[in-house]
Chains A and B, each alone.
Chain A
Amino acid sequence: MSAVPSASPPVPVHGETLLIADNVSKTFPGVIALDEVTFEVRAGEVNALVGENGAGKSTLIKIMSGNYAPDGGEVRVEGNRLEATPAAAHRARVATIHQDSHLVPNMTVAENIMLGHWPVRFGIISRREQYRRAQQAISLVAPSLSPNMLAHRLSPAEGQLVEIARAISENSRVLIMDEPTTSLSGREIEQLFRVVDGLKAQGMGIVFVSHWLEEVFRIADRVTVLRDGRLVGTQPADTLDADGVIRMMVGRDVAHVTAQPRPIGDTVLRVRNLTRVGVVDDISFEVRAGEIVTLAGLVGAGRTELASCIFGADPYESGSVELGGQTVSPGSPHPAIQAGIGLVPEDRRHQGLVANLSVSTNATLAVLDRIAPNGFLSRRLEDEAVATATRSVAVKMASTSVPISTLSGGNQQKVVIGRWLARQPKLLILDEPTKGIDVGSKAEISEIIIRLATAGTAILLISSEMPEVLSLSDRVLVMRSGRIVGELDRSNLTPEAVISLATTG
C-alpha cells in the first residue's frame, strides 16, 4: 500500500558506475549546447563539472535530471536507460538541487521533504509518518532545523539542506548540485561540504557544479571540464591545479589585460553635489576624456543607483550632472543619450536585451534616430550600424537575424556594448560589464574598454571584481552607504586599500 519503499537500498559498491551520460548531444535554435559528451558518476565520489558560461554544464545537468531529452546518445542509471522526464529521474533515484530553491514556500519543511512521495495509506497522507520520515532525513543534514517551519522562512543555505534532505528521504543514489554555493556564506559552504562528505562516504554519487575552483578542489575527487559544448576531459582532482583547469576551460592561457597609461584629455563628466535622498549622498566627481574611473564598493553601496541618476534613468533631489559643460536634465535617459552618455546596465537580461528580437534589432536600439532619419528605417544605414556594433566587438553568431537569446552571455554583452559604439558616446558607463560571463569574453571586454578609452572615450566603470578594478582603473572612487569615501589612483591602488575603504571608510 505504501508508495515509498521502506526497506533501505542495497549498500552501493564504492567506485561502481551509478550514472552515465553516454555520448549525449543537444541543440537549441542557434546553438549546439552539447556535442557528444560522455560524463560518468561513480558511487562514493564527487565529480565536479566545470566550464565557462555557455560550455554546456546546465544543459548536461538538465539531461541527467530528465528535464531535457538528448538529441543524440542516452543517459543510463545503474544500467537502465533514463526516460527524459523528471519523474523518471526520481524513480531512478537521481535527485537534483538547483541553483535557486525549488521548495514550496507555504509548506512546512517536512511537507517539502516528502513532496511527491508522501507516505500514503488508502489515498490519505499520514501526517505522523510524514513527520517521522522527514525528521529522520533532516537529522542527517541539519539536526537543528524544525520540520514544522514554513519553507519561506528558511535562509538559502537552510533551503539547500532541506533539498538535500529530500534527496536522502527519496533514497537517491545520485545527487546533482547545480552551483549550490552561489548564495551561501563561507561558514554555510563549509557546513554544506561536510554534509556532502558524509553522503559520499555512504556511497552516493555526487555531481557538483561550481564556478569557484577553490571549492572544486576542496570537494571533488574528479574534475570534468566542458568547453563549447564538448568534453575536454575528466581527470582526478589531485593531478590538477587551478591554472591547469583554467587552461582546459578556455583552451589557452588567459593573458592578463592591463590598461597602459595613455593621454588624458579635458573633463567630460562633472557631477556636482548629487543627492538622491536615502540612495546617494552629496556626490561630486569628474571623469576626463580617455580616463577609466572605477566605482568600487560593496553591493548596495549606491554605485548602480548613482549611475542611474547620471544617466537620467532615476530622479534626484539636488545636484547636477554636466557633460562637456552642458547640464544633463534628469528624469529620462533620453537627454543623457542625446548629450553623449551610454549605459551598459548591470542586469543584461532584464535591462539590456529584448530577448526575442534579433541581434541586429538589439544592436541598433540606441541609434534608431540615426538609422531612421525621417522616421523611416533605412536598410543601408541599419546594416552599417549593425556592422559597426557587432564587428568592432567581434560578436560570435550564426547571423545577425537570429534572436539574441540564442547567443552566449558574453556575446550578448558585446552586443549591448556595441549598441553604444555606433553613437560614439563621450562617456560610457559600464555596470559590472563582465558579471556572469565566461573568462575568454571577460578578457575581450576588458580589451574593448581599453580601446575605447584610448580613442578618447571617458569610461565610468562599476566593478566588484578586484582583478578588473586593479588592471583597468586610472582612478578608483570607493563608495560606501551612498557616499564616496575615498579616492585611489595608480600610485596607491591596492586590493587592501579598496577593501578597507569599502568596509570601514
Chain B
Amino acid sequence: MSEANSAPTPVAPVQESTRFLDLVQSLGLLIVIIIGGVMLSFGSPVFFTRINIENLLFSSTIIAVMAIGQAFVILVAGIDLSVGAVLALSSVLGVVLATQFGFPVIIAALVALGVGAGIGLLNGLAVTKLRVPALIATLAMMSVTRGVAYLISDGRNIAPVPSIFIEIQSLRIFGVPFVIIFTAMVALLAHFVLTRTRFGREIFATGGNAVAARLAGIKTDRVILIAYVISGSAAALGGLMITARLEAGAATAGFGYELTVISAVVIGGVSLFGGEGKITGVLLGVILLGLVQNAVNLLNVPPNYDYIVSGAVIAAAAALDVYRRSYVESGLRKRTMLIRREKSQNRTGSE
C-alpha cells in the first residue's frame, strides 16, 4: 500500500551506525601493528624506546614516499615496477650534477626530480597511447633506467655528496627528524589530493571503471598519465632521500624496492584492481613492513631467515585483512536488516 514511489527516502541515522564499522575498516592494520608492537616489546627491551621507534619511522620514510606515489598508479589500476631503478638514477644524477658538473645543489635536485617525472611520463604514454600493459612497460623502463644509472656512475658509488644532504638528514625540528616531518607532509598532501580535489575523484573513477569515467567526461588517459608522473617523481624524491642516507650516489641502491613498495600499498588496502584505497592505509602498510624489519633486527633473527619471516608476515597481514573485510561486510548486513525492520513497522501488511 504505502509504496514509496513518490518521495525520495534518504535515511539519515544510517551514517551514525556505520561509523564504528568504518573505524574497524580503517584501523584494522593499526590493530595488527599495535599487537605486533606489544609482542615485540616483550621480546626485546629495546623496542619500546624513543630511539628505536624513531629509527623505525626514519628508516620507513623512503619506502613511504615511494609507496604514496605508487598508490596513485595502483588506484588507476596500473602498476609501476620502475620505481627502484628511478630511485637509483635520481640518486646518481643528483650527486653527479652537483659534484662533477658544478650545478647548484637545488638545481641538481630539481633535475633529478624532473627526470623521475619524465620517466613517469614515458611510462604513462606507453600505457595510455601505445596500450602496452603496465607490467611490461614499467618492467622495460626499470631495466633501461637502472642501466642509465650504471652508465652514468660506471657502477661505482659517487661520494662525497654535497654537505646539504647530510645536514638535512640530521636536521631536527622540535626534536623530531625533519625527514619524518617531511614524509608526513607528503602523505598529508596526497591524502588531501585524493579526498578533496577533482583530480582525486577522477583517479577513483578512472580506476573503478575507466569506461564509465570516460563517458562521464573524465579525460581518463590524462588521469592515468599524471598518476605515473606522480609515481616517477615520488621515486626520484626517494632517490634524493637515499643519497642523504647513504652519503653517496649509488646506482645499486633500491634493488627490489619496487616489490617492497607494492607490498606496502597492497597490504595497506589499496585494491590491485584500482579505484579503492586510502593513504592512511598505505602508511600503515609501510609501517607494518618496517616493524617486521625492526623485529628481525631486534630479535637477532639469523639473516638467512629474514626473507622468510617477511614473507610470512605479509601473507598473515593480507589474510587478516580479508577476514576484517568480511567482518565489516557482515556488520553492514545486520545494519540493513535493522533498517528494514524499522521501515516495515511503518508499512501496512501487503499480503
Contacts and interface: CB of A to CB of B under 8 A. Distances in A.
> B interface, by DSSP: helix, strand, loop or mixed?
helix
Contacts of A350: 209, 211-212
Contacts of B196: 376-377
Contacts of A357: 204-205, 208, 275
A376 B198 contact: yes
Interface stretch (B31-39, B87-95, B162-170, B333-341): B333-341
A343 interface: yes
A365 B213 contact: yes
B211 A28 contact: no
Given A352-B212, A352-B215, A375-B197, A252 B205 contact: no
A31 B336 contact: yes
A444 B5 contact: yes
Contacts of A155: none
A7 interface: no
B5 A29 contact: no
A213 interface: no
Contacts of B204: 354, 357, 361
Of A230, A343, A351, A365, most buried by chain B (CB within 10 Å of CB) is A365
B4 interface: yes
A251 B344 CA distance: 16
A32 B334 CA distance: 10
A334 B10 contact: no
B103 interface: no
Interface residues of A, number: 58
B212 A361 contact: no
A27 B213 contact: no
Contact of B215 (A230, A252, A343, A369): A343
A372 interface: yes
A196 B28 CA distance: 52
B10 A399 contact: yes
Given A71-B333, A395-B8, A399-B12, A313 B215 contact: yes
B218 interface: yes
A365 B8 CA distance: 21
B100 interface: no
Interface in B330-351: 332-337, 339-340, 344, 350-351
A265 interface: no
Contacts of B334: 27
A22 interface: no
Given A352-B215, A369-B198, A390 B8 contact: yes
Nearest to A348: B212
Q: Which 8 A-B pairs have the closest CB atoms?
A: A372-B198, A354-B208, A29-B332, A365-B216, A337-B217, A354-B209, A27-B333, A32-B340
20 contacts: A25-B337, A27-B336, A227-B350, A333-B217, A350-B209, A353-B212, A354-B205, A356-B275, A361-B201, A365-B201, A365-B217, A366-B217, A368-B217, A372-B197, A376-B196, A396-B8, A398-B339, A399-B11, A399-B15, A402-B14
